[in-house]
Structure 1
């Protein structure tokens, strides 16, 4: 029996898409105001790499810019994301809380492992009161390697987890499960890719389907 579930956040529990576009536009408008960007906001390019740690995001989107500019952009982007969360412009995916209630009823522990930054994750957890269900939320910032597999391993070690599943929408989540001997459940949601989901043990189109996979 699966005794613990480790969830990804962006594109799995939280509908990042609802605040992503406006936050990215905010960040690149900021760069334009500093005369550090011309042209359109690279939203499509960001969608392609969605799920990687933010330092890698800015290396990809701003390859010719200095680290100082990348860090300024990162800080501004994070600020805008949090503001949009607190103003209620984001949302959880359907059935998150119903599934969490179910998992608690069958004594299945819930954790979050995300490539998001700590402040950002705290804003989501606080706004939606996820601490009512989630044992602990882990950010990639806590792992020097910035590797999702290492982050999941840290959770496994800290809580002595043996039978668990990782639920997420991208290859890094599936790989994190496989690297730690856990079940990989892929979410066919906004940012998912068929070639990545093909490597999961299960694929779901709605979180409510977890109730038929994770049983007492």
Structure 2
């Protein structure tokens, strides 16, 4: 993380990771995770215990195929694909029921950024329907110009997803805001200012190294605008 008196100028756009940055993922994910494994056992596709929650939480930010390789490495690809379906289904059901919370200050901060004319986007390695439904269900969708997901665009990394977003919207100045090393890499390799979010508790030591700005509450984002 760079330090010093320089305050970055206001960017044309801000790109946000979703899980662990805007959305308190565990409030929706963990009930869905246990329910998905329960159904997997009912279907006879898996007979063991549900893997520890720490495995799924520590995998957030990865592509889904890499998440299941970490969470359930012994299972065949067909089981991983079924877990994709079950987890998405359970999470969407939860969102419809009002399950899941934003981090404190997210809605007000996004409203302020939008009012200042900054273009806002989500860039996530998640599935398309999930990445679009979370903002709708939590009441923040109106502030965003676009929702970009690896699930929709079939990108192999967040670097590629962010590059696609920047090119499509002709953005020349932007900040990448996120909580994982994939966000830092995506910002760095696309020439963006990187804001590291250090409040979700999912990251490993050193994972945000290379960021330009570090925040411990979402609303602190406003303090770093010129």
TM-score, structure 1 normalization = 0.94
Alignment equivalent of 2:28, drawn from 19, 29, 35: 19
Map 1:60-79; keep pairs closer than 5 Å: 60-79=70-89
Alignment equivalent of 2:16, drawn from 7, 25, 29: 7
**Greater helix fraction, Structure 1 or Structure 2:** 1
> Is the alpha carbon distance of 1:66 and 1:40 closer, same or farther for their aligned partners in structure 2, counting shifts above 3 Å?
closer
| CA deviation after TM superposition for structure 1 residue 48, in Å | 2.1
Map 1:32-111; keep pairs closer than 5 Å: 32-35=41-44, 36-111=46-121
Map 1:1-216; keep pairs closer than 5 Å: 1=9, 2-35=11-44, 36-190=46-200, 191-215=202-226
Give the CA RMSD over aligned residues: 1.5
Gaps of 5+ in 2: 1-8
**Whole-Å separation in 2 of the counterparts to 1:134 and 1:197:** 25
On the 8 A contact 1:18/1:89 being kept in 2, the answer is yes
On the 8 A contact 1:170/1:196 being kept in 2, the answer is yes
| CA deviation after TM superposition for structure 1 residue 84, in Å | 1.1
The size of the alignment, in residue pairs, is 215
| CA deviation after TM superposition for structure 1 residue 131, in Å | 2.6
Q: Comparing 31-40 with 109-118, which one deviates more in the overlay?
A: 31-40
Gaps of 5+ in 1: none
**Whole-Å separation in 2 of the counterparts to 1:20 and 1:58:** 14
| CA deviation after TM superposition for structure 1 residue 121, in Å | 1.5
